[in-house]
Amino acid sequence: MDEKVFHVGGVELRVDNRNLGEDGGPTVRVFGKADGENIQLLRFDCFRKNPHYHYDPSGKNDHRKLDKETVPDSVAWTIEQLGTHLAEMINTAGYTSVADQVDQAAVKKVLPEVESLMRG
């Protein structure tokens, strides 16, 4: 899949498929404007073997693994986070000014298309 970009709700969602040799899968990267720069705030890697997500992947890169026992469907989990906890997660990543601008309702409207691309 080619990268698909959504400019919505004060952020930019980039959806594509990453292949890292023996692992890979759909990825959603969340970008926002901070200090005049477009910065990657969050990344959700819904990989086949080791699904995980990152807070501030280009900076502090706080990497969190998803347990397949408690999160059997990482795509569904990612869509839920984007739909209900996006501002909170951006705040956790350290970008309060971006989090304050997030329009959660607008983001929620594009998530069916995002999920469809991820499940491709």
User: Which residues fall within 8 angstroms of residue 7, CB to CB, at 6 or more apart?
Assistant: none
Confidence band for 35, pLDDT divided at 50, 70 and 90: confident
**Among the listed residues 37, 20, 17, 96, the one whose alpha carbon sits nearest the alpha carbon of residue 29:** 17
- In this structure, which amino acid lies at residue 50? N
Q: What are the pLDDT digits (tens) for 37-95?
A: 999 999 999 999 999 999 999 999 999 999 999 999 999 999 999 999 999 999 999 99
Q: Check residue 42 and give its pLDDT.
A: 98
Q: Check residue 78 and give its pLDDT.
A: 98
For residues 3-18, give the mean pLDDT: 97
Question: Is the model's pLDDT at 12 over the cut of 90?
Answer: yes
Q: Check residue 92 and give its pLDDT.
A: 97
User: Which residues fall within 8 angstroms of residue 98, CB to CB, at 6 or more apart?
Assistant: 10, 11, 32, 33, 34, 41, 90
Q: Check residue 82 and give its pLDDT.
A: 98
Q: Check residue 38 and give its pLDDT.
A: 95
44-79 burial code (b ≥16 CB/10 A, e <16)? bbbbeeebebbbbbeeeeeeeebeeeeeeebbebbb
Question: Is the model's pLDDT at 1 over the cut of 80?
Answer: no
User: Which residues fall within 8 angstroms of residue 92, CB to CB, at 6 or more apart?
Assistant: 55
**What is the token pair recorded at 31?**
């970008």
Mean pLDDT estimate for the chain: 96
**What is the token pair recorded at 61?**
């890169």
